[in-house]
Amino acid sequence: MKCIVLVATFGLALLGSLSPVRAQSSPKKPPHVVIIMADQLRYDALGEWTPNINQLKAEGVSFNRTYCASPLCVPSRGAFFTGLYPNETGSLTNGLEATERQHGEVKKGIPNLYQVLETKWDSWQTGKQHFMTEDKQHDSPNTKTTWLSLDKGYNAYLKANGKDRPGGGGFREDYPEQMKDRSIIRPYSTPQTGMYEPGFDFFFDGYILKTSLEALKKRDTQKPFLLNAMFLAPHPPLEIPEPYFSRVKNVQLPENVGKWSKRQSPLQLYNIPGYLGNRYTRDDWAKIWPVYLGLVNLLDDAVGQLVAELKRQGMYDNTIIVFTADHGEMLGSHRMWQKMCMYEESARVPLIIKFPKDYTPQVRETNELVSHIDVFPTLCEYLKVPLLRPVSGRSLLPLVQGQKPGRQQVFVQYDGNAALGNYQRCVIENGYKLVVDRFKNEQYMELYHLAEDPQEMTNLAFEPQYRDRVLALLGQLEKHMTATGDRLSLSPADYTKFLDDYKEYRR
């Protein structure tokens, strides 16, 4: 109200003045920033069950060929919020093993989105806190961000209301996680489904929505608002509330669900996705997919309520909204479950940016290659906030304005879940994807022509006519790994050895 009164008084003064003084427009208010990140959302899950996200896409820019920097929660977010590759941030795994906790943390001194914006924006974080830093930024007394993380209040909220947490022992199974020097037994989520009786309000994402709306209502209205809403859906457990549990009926499964393709990497059976996913049939997945999509629909409803509150407070038209996911979900594709691999279903993610009303993109949809690390510099350029140090990501604004094409290559890496162990490296260029899968002294390679084989069922790495293509991509990967300080190394000799080790696959 104070602002309105000042403008009105200024207008009256102008009307009463005889001098030809032109009224000056008030300074443009910095836009609000809302980042909505889903967890484990397949890029191809958007559609029939995501009307609210579809509306964001219709009003924004959709980057259809976006890839995470690592298909694992912690390193993916470390890269997203810093604009750097996991090799550069030091955040390589989920850091669950106590002796290797440091490999799950962004190194001290690396600026991130929270730090860059919280000096001017009223910064809030809600939901899953998997952006881990060496200096424990989320617990620091110096942080200017309000952290309403899931792990800080959810269990107390359930206890106060006498409700149980979704999931539990029946939705987990012991898995022999193989690390670089030993193996440990660790419980891990399975695709078991069930109905969560306490209902949406006590479900993970019901609580995350509650705290996100609380942040909007408690924000400092004298500052622009920053919200990082980190939803858990559609990450397992797949014990979800009604009406979402029963909402989706029959689903047309992708062709590669329940199928282990010819010449698929056998090393995946050492890794969580292959070990857990290989036991389920296509018929099993036909029963699991509707529950997963029901959870996607739950996420979409939460997004819709968040957008409605932005509109109710008159903030929507001056808000830049980023919608994405930290990584995808195999959900039976290639007979695999979870993420942690380089197939499209795991490494490719949705990315939508809805700009404020006064900004007109020249491109509404693009199939150019984009990496998650490009979002941070994009936001900084749009908000006119200087980067505190160089980043590997590049702003998407020139692409949005139709000035130049996107990047030529995208690089993705995986270094292990709880600790270092299973390694995978990937490069995508000119419609081809090369994957190098390494476990201890074994190494396997896969080459896919994504335009002709989008479900990656035909590994071309063994075909003589693709030798030059493999070596060229291997050279790009080697160059990138050297530039980013990778702990691994590659050379053309690795391809020769791979062909010799797996010569029976060439028949």
Within-domain flag for 237: yes
Contact 300, 53 (CB under 8 A): yes
Within-domain flag for 3: no
Within-domain flag for 21: no
CB burial of residue 91 (10 Å; 0-12, 13-18, 19+)? buried
Claim to verify: residue 299 and residue 445 sit in the same structural domain: no
Last residue of a domain, one of 382, 408, 434: 408
Omega before residue 141 within 30° of 0, cis: no
Instruction: Kindly report the CATH number assigned to the domain that includes residue 424.
Output: 3.30.1120.10
Tally of domains in the chain: 2
Claim to verify: residue 353 and residue 461 sit in the same structural domain: no
pLDDT at position 406, please? 79
Residue 407 has what DSSP assignment?
A: B
pLDDT at position 27, please? 52
Last residue of a domain, one of 386, 408, 430: 408
Claim to verify: residue 168 and residue 245 sit in the same structural domain: yes
Instruction: Kindly report the CATH number assigned to the domain that includes residue 278.
Output: 3.40.720.10
Which helix (H) or strand (E) covers residue 238, if one does? strand 238-240
Claim to verify: residue 103 and residue 163 sit in the same structural domain: yes
pLDDT at position 16, please? 33
Q: Which two tokens stand for residue 447?
A: 């080459």
How many Cβ atoms sit within 10 Å of the Cβ of residue 505?
15
Q: What is the pLDDT of residues 452-507, one digit of tens each?
A: 999 999 999 999 999 999 999 999 999 999 999 999 999 999 999 999 999 988 76
Claim to verify: residue 221 and residue 357 sit in the same structural domain: yes
pLDDT at position 205, please? 98
Residue 319 has what DSSP assignment?
A: E
Contact 14, 301 (CB under 8 A): no
Q: Which parts of the chain sit beneath pLDDT 50?
A: 1-26
Within-domain flag for 249: yes
Residue 257 has what DSSP assignment?
A: B
Q: What is the pLDDT of residues 142-194, one digit of tens each?
A: 999 999 999 889 999 999 999 999 998 899 998 888 777 778 888 999 999 99
CA distance 324 to 48: 17
Q: Which two tokens stand for residue 310?
A: 């932005």
Within-domain flag for 121: yes
**Domain boundaries, position 480:** 413-506
pLDDT at position 504, please? 87
Q: Tell me if residue 326 falls in helix, strand or coil.
A: coil
Claim to verify: residue 462 and residue 359 sit in the same structural domain: no
Alpha helices in 241-331 (DSSP H): 244-247, 272-277, 282-312
Q: What is the pLDDT of residues 54-85, one digit of tens each?
A: 999 999 999 999 999 999 999 999 999 999 99
Within-domain flag for 17: no
Claim to verify: residue 264 and residue 334 sit in the same structural domain: yes
Within-domain flag for 228: yes
CA distance 417 to 104: 9
Claim to verify: residue 362 and residue 499 sit in the same structural domain: no
Claim to verify: residue 304 and residue 247 sit in the same structural domain: yes
Three-state SS for 47-63 is CCCCHHHHHHHHHCEEE
CB burial of residue 59 (10 Å; 0-12, 13-18, 19+)? middle
Last residue of a domain, one of 408, 436, 456: 408
**pTM of this structure:** 0.93
Q: Which two tokens stand for residue 127?
A: 């939901």
Question: Angle at Cα 403 formed by Cα 399 and Cα 409, nearest 5°?
Answer: 45
Claim to verify: residue 324 and residue 426 sit in the same structural domain: no
Within-domain flag for 222: yes
Claim to verify: residue 148 and residue 208 sit in the same structural domain: yes
Claim to verify: residue 144 and residue 201 sit in the same structural domain: yes
Residues in the chain: 507
pLDDT at position 505, please? 85
- Name 281's Cβ contacts closer than 8 Å, sequence gap at least 6: 258
CA nearest 96: which of 212, 172, 186, 183? 186
pLDDT at position 507, please? 67
